[in-house]
């Protein structure tokens, strides 16, 4: 019997779980050198104290001192990012370095145009060099954040895209009802476009980060700070437009909070896990076990989000034009449900195809039992559970049919296939819930028992022979087959290497076959009795 071998056999099964999307070749960055060089509680406390101190100091300062306070605040995230990089807290360094470049650009823009906030340039959408530099800095920061979270996005691309679309659609009402009506009359087309893009991108980023935060459990603290940074930046943009003819205090205060929330992100213990792959989830384990994962989009929420902008357009047409031009938004609203129904049908077809493929990838086509690939993977998982101390033992039991070849030779392969199907059904009836039954190929079967292995083997040795040796009625004949079994048990501290365990079971089974051949005259097992059907 040939079994697939591992690329690098070892004395024991490697019990270290490999996260989805990674490999052993080193393509995934190593973990942090320190498990959080600043505790999470200290990060939160430091953020609160610094935020209160900075906002109060800015509010109480005179105009010249305010510029100094604001400049110092813009330097804080640069310092925290560089400190986290220097201490080895961030294993995948390049995304964070890109973010530092964006922060440096923001600090430089503040030094070159110190009155950009106080003179309401943020809310005027002028398309000036300062606006261009700030927009470039935001783009660089977005690239760094996307790079850092790319592995989480890859593991949940559909969910992240759905969340980004919902976020983008939520940005439409903010622009149309809050920002655009209050823009100054002399706003430039370039400035208006830049402000709209900034607002929509931030809205999409918020949606994406919320989704990543739901799936990336260990990175959730850092992702939360990123979400807060995007939200307060959106608030700063809206406030700048609303107060363009008044005080810029609240705009600056929101910008200060944005800088400080971003400064806390790399210090949080969850920061290293932003760039590491997502932990294996129950859904992922089901996929590995041959069960399809339901990743269909939430079409209801998507439909609602897609309807927002056409509804806004319809309201505007009714209010400004008395209903003229209403057909375009109404036509769009009518098309969206049809498109969603089509998506739903395609999604259902894809899910059905994935379930079918997953079943065939893990099951034997003839008997419906698990196939060799699945059985080998299950043995490896069970042995890894022993190494991790999660299980006190497992057993495997090999079953090889005796007298099966004459059935194929005399009655044909169709009769042999029918016998194998009956044997598979009888084996399934002999095992307990939780035991795994599979067909290795030909007339060889394997049973994996995870709980109480010795008792399970004893029970199966007692139940399987009489069950399989019972006559099988075929068209035109009644046949019987025998079975020879071999078994092996793995316990903590003993052999937990798959090949060695199967080798023991193989040896036991072939020793039993030798005994059967010596005692063939006195044993009915292994004999094939062909009778004419009455």
Q: Give the residue numbers annotated as catalytic, written as ranges.
A: 443
For the chain, the first-to-last Cα distance in angstroms comes to: 39
CA quadruple 341, 346, 348, 353: dihedral, nearest 10 = 170
Distance between CA atoms of residues 183 and 199, nearest Å: 14
6 vs 9, 10, 12, 381, CA distance in Å?
A: 6, 9, 12, 14
Enclosing H/E stretch for 525 = none
Q: Tell me if residue 402 falls in helix, strand or coil.
A: strand
Q: Where are the alpha helices (DSSP H) in 5-92?
A: 40-60, 63-86
| Strands ordered across the beta sheet of 394-402 | 436-441, 444-449, 394-402, 482-490
β-pairing, 472-474 with 436-441?
A: unpaired
- Rounded Cα distance between 98 and 448, Å, is 50
The answer to whether 188 and 144 are in contact (CB under 8 A) is no
Give the three-state DSSP class for 205.
Answer: helix
- Whole-number Å distance between alpha carbons of 291 and 285: 9
CB 486 within 8 A of CB 506: yes
DSSP codes of every residue in 311-378: HHHHHHHHHHSTTTTTHHHHHHHHHHHHHHHHHHHHHHHHHHHHHHHHHHHHB-TTT-SB-HHHHHHH
**133 Cβ contact list (under 8 Å, min separation 6):** 105, 108, 109, 112
CA angle 136, 139, 144 (to 5 degrees): 130
């Amino acid at each position: 019997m040939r079994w697939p071998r591992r690329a690098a056999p070892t004395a024991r099964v490697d019990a270290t779980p490999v996260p989805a999307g990674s490999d052993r070749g080193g393509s995934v960055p190593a973990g942090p050198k320190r498990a959080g060089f600043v505790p999470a509680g200290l990060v939160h406390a430091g953020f609160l104290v610094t935020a209160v101190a900075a906002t109060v100091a800015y509010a109480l300062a005179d105009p010249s001192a305010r510029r100094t306070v604001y400049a110092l605040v813009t330097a804080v995230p640069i310092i925290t990012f560089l400190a986290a990089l220097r201490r080895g807290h961030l294993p995948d360094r390049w995304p964070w370095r890109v973010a530092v470049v964006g922060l440096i650009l923001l600090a430089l823009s503040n030094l070159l145009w110190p009155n950009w906030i106080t003179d309401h340039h943020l809310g005027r959408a002028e398309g000036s060099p300062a606006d261009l530099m700030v927009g470039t800095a935001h783009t660089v920061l977005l690239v760094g954040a996307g790079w850092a979270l790319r592995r989480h996005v890859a593991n949940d691309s559909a969910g992240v895209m759905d969340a980004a679309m919902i976020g983008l659609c939520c940005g439409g009402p903010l622009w149309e009802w809050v920002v655009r009506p209050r823009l100054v009359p002399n706003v430039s087309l370039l400035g208006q476009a830049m402000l709209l893009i900034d607002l929509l991108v931030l809205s999409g980023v918020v949606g994406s980060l919320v989704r990543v935060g739901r799936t990336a459990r260990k990175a959730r603290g850092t992702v939360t700070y990123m979400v807060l940074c995007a939200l307060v930046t959106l608030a700063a943009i809206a406030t700048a437009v609303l107060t363009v003819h008044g005080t810029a205090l609240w705009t600056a205060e929101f910008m200060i909070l944005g800088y400080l929330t971003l400064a806390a992100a790399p210090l949080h213990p969850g920061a290293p896990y932003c760039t590491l792959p997502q932990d294996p989830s129950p859904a992922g384990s089901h996929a590995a076990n041959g069960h399809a994962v339901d990743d269909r989009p939430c079409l209801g929420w998507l439909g609602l989000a897609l309807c927002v902008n056409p509804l806004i357009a319809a309201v505007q047409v009714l209010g400004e034009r008395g209903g003229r031009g209403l057909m375009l938004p109404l036509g769009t609203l009518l098309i969206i449900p049809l498109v969603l129904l089509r998506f739903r049908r395609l999604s259902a077809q894809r899910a059905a195809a994935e379930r079918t493929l997953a079943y065939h990838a893990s099951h034997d086509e003839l008997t419906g039992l698990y196939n060799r690939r699945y059985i080998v993977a299950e043995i490896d998982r069970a042995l890894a559970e022993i190494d991790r101390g999660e299980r006190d033992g497992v057993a495997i039991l090999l079953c090889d049919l005796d007298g099966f070849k004459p059935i194929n030779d005399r009655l044909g392969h169709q009769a042999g296939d029918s016998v194998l199907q009956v044997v598979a059904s009888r084996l399934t009836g002999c095992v307990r819930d939780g035991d795994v039954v599979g067909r290795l190929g030909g007339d060889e079967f394997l049973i994996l028992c995870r709980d109480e292995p010795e008792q399970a083997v004893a029970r199966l040795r007692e139940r399987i022979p009489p069950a399989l040796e019972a006559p099988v009625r075929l068209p035109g004949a009644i046949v019987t087959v025998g079975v020879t079994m071999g078994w092996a048990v793995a316990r903590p501290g003993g052999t937990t290497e798959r090949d060695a365990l199967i080798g023991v079971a193989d040896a036991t089974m072939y020793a039993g076959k030798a005994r059967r051949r010596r005692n063939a005259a006195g044993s009915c097992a292994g004999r094939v009795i062909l009778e004419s059907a009455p």
